[in-house]
Amino acid sequence: MDYFSEGLTKAVALLLALDPETFSAVWATASVTALALIASLLMGLPLGFALGHFHFPGRRGVRLFVDWMLSLPTVVIGLIVYAFLTARGPLGEWGLLFSVPGMALGLTLLGLPIIISMTATAVESTDSRLTQTLLSLGADRWQLLWATLTEARFAMALAAATAFGRIVSEVGIAMMVGGNIKWQTRTITTAIALETGKGEFATGIALGIVLMIVALVVNLLVGLLRGRANGSAGGHRAGGGRT
């Protein structure tokens, strides 16, 4: 275990010294995660809300497709995105392969079904008595939509936190689409895999510490949001019981 304790000591020193090579992976991870999460939220929240709130022909098929995307292996997503972005692919002229935007595109496909599915489930789980009460009070369509959105806000925030955790920890898509280029597209996860394979345990441990801190923050946030969502739901049930 001497190599581990020595590696841990060197890892802490790298972090405290703000080692440029180590933190270049951190900044690349932050950039690609932010782009992918924003894109997933901008598309996923409205689509998930529509899927959970409205009834339309083919709704069951759409839900099955979203659930299928959830179970799709990430290496397959990476392969599909790579095929589209390669020079011979339909999007090859965009020059996105082995770039941060290209990785963000692949990671968006990873986070998008999570946002859609969890948002739709949250909207479907809202208390039906709320809609009935608002209709009896003369609420219009937009007021009903806003009330449903407000009711599901904590669960939708939980979906965002879950997607963030999945995106920031992904290896396969980042490796295949980003190419693991030093100082450019090397993320925390791909750097850990590379440096550990080279025997550079200090750098791998340093980046692992950063990733564990991020995971801890995300888990604390998820727990807080879950508690608020459950408390909100419990409060509405209690209010309904008193009525």
CATH code, 147 = 1.10.3720.10
So what's the pLDDT on residue 243? 37
Q: What pLDDT, in 10s, does the model give residues 3-30?
A: 667 767 777 787 788 888 888 988 999 9
Number of structural domains, the chain? 1
In a domain, residue 114? The reply is yes
| 1 occurs within a structural domain | no
Residue 53 belongs to a domain: yes
- Tell me which residue range forms the domain holding 88: 8-242
In a domain, 33, yes or no: yes
Give one DSSP letter per residue of 164-228, joined into a string.
HHHHHT--HHHHHHHTT-TTTT--HHHHHHHHHHTT-HHHHHHHHHHHHHHHHHHHHHHHHHHHH
Give domain status of residue 182, yes or no.
yes
Query: Is residue 3 a part of any domain in this protein?
Result: no
Domain annotation covers residue 45: yes
Q: What are the residues whose beta carbons fall under 8 Å from the beta carbon of 143, sequence distance 6 or more?
A: 134
101 pLDDT above the threshold of 70: yes
Q: Compute the average pLDDT of residues 185-194.
A: 88
pLDDT in tens, 60-85: 999 999 999 998 899 999 999 999 99
Using 50, 70 and 90 to split pLDDT, how confident is the model at 44? very high
Rounded to two decimals, the pTM is: 0.82
Residue 2: inside a domain: no
The mean-pLDDT minimum among 50-64, 140-154, 182-196 falls in 140-154
